[in-house]
Amino acid sequence: MKKTMTRFIPFFIMASFLVTGCNQNIKSTTTAAKPSVSTEAKKDQGPVYKGKVVGKSNKAKQISIEVGKDKDAKTVMVSFDDKTKGLEYAAAGEGAIIAYEMRDGVPFATVIKPKLATLPPGVTVITPTEVKTLIDSNKDFLLVDSRPGNRYSASHLPGAVSIPVCEMQELLQNLPKEKDKLLIFYCGGPT
């Protein structure tokens, strides 16, 4: 297990740059199995906006980001300039953490970092190449596409089944009876 984790850490760091489009509101109840890359956010000074990037305009130098949950959800506009770090992570649909300071009463982005997914305890990351190898070698596993059904219809991995994340009842009905069977989940990424 330890060896496997070590092998995945470089990928996880890489994946953290790619990851988005996935709801990342699952919080692990244990930190034991979790790679420690997410701690870098704690080193940040000052206030941050954390949420999904709605859009970015390079001409107006503005990022809009949706922060807060459910009833408290709101979109805020943050300015940026050429000195803002990590602008590549402020792409529409991606989860981002924007550190900002107030300038003339307007929030101004200083550093932007990708918002990392937190995996549930015991769940490990798998790369596309590894999934491809499993498919090509006819290994017995269930590949689940967690995106909305229309996204699945348009383009899905070979052999994947569509179980959108909100259909929990359906998910449980469609999962195999054997609890030790390999399940692989995937969803959208950067658009």
Partner 1 sequence: MSTKSAGQAVKAGYKNIRVMLAGEPAWVKAGYPTYANYGWVCRGNIVLIDLRSAEKDAAARIPRSVSMPFADFADNYDEIPIKAPVVLYSDKDEETTAAMKILHDNGYKKVSLVEGNFLGWKRVGGSLEKGPVVTDVRWKRILAEGEVSVAEFERALADPKVATILDVRTKAEVASGKFPSSQHIPLDELCKDMDQFVCKIRDLQKDEKIYIHCTTGARAEMAYKELKKRDFNAFYLVAEVDCKGNDCSIEE
Residues 26-85 that bind partner 1 (CB under 8 A): 26, 54-57, 59-62, 64, 74-75, 77, 79
Q: Contact with partner 1 (CB under 8 A): which of 37, 102, 122, 139?
A: 122
Least distance to partner 1 from the beta carbon of 171, Å? 6
CA distances 159 to 21, 64, 144, Å, are 22, 37, 9
CB of 94 to partner 1, least distance (A): 11
35, 58, 106, 112, 132 from 121: Cα distances, Å: 11, 39, 40, 27, 24
Looking at residue 34, its amino acid is K
Mask 87-116, x = binds partner 1 (CB under 8 A)?
Answer: ------------------xx----------
Which of 5, 9, 18, 115 is close enough to bind partner 1 by CB under 8 A? 18
The pair of structure tokens assigned to 26 is: 């699952």
User: Which residue, 45 or 72, has its beta carbon nearer to partner 1?
Assistant: 72
Stretch that binds partner 1, among 30-38, 44-52, 82-90, 120-128 (CB under 8 A): 120-128
Tokens encoding 28: 């692990």
Residues 108, 182: Cα–Cα separation, whole Å: 45
Q: Which C-beta is closer to partner 1: that of 3 or that of 45?
A: 3
Closest separation between CB of residue 172 and partner 1, Å?
Answer: 6
The residue from 45, 129, 137, 138 that contacts partner 1 (CB under 8 A) is 129
For residue 79, what is the enclosing H or E element?
strand 74-79
Q: How many residues bind partner 1 (CB under 8 A)?
A: 74
Q: Which H or E element spans position 107?
A: strand 106-114
Alpha-carbon Rg for the chain in angstroms = 19
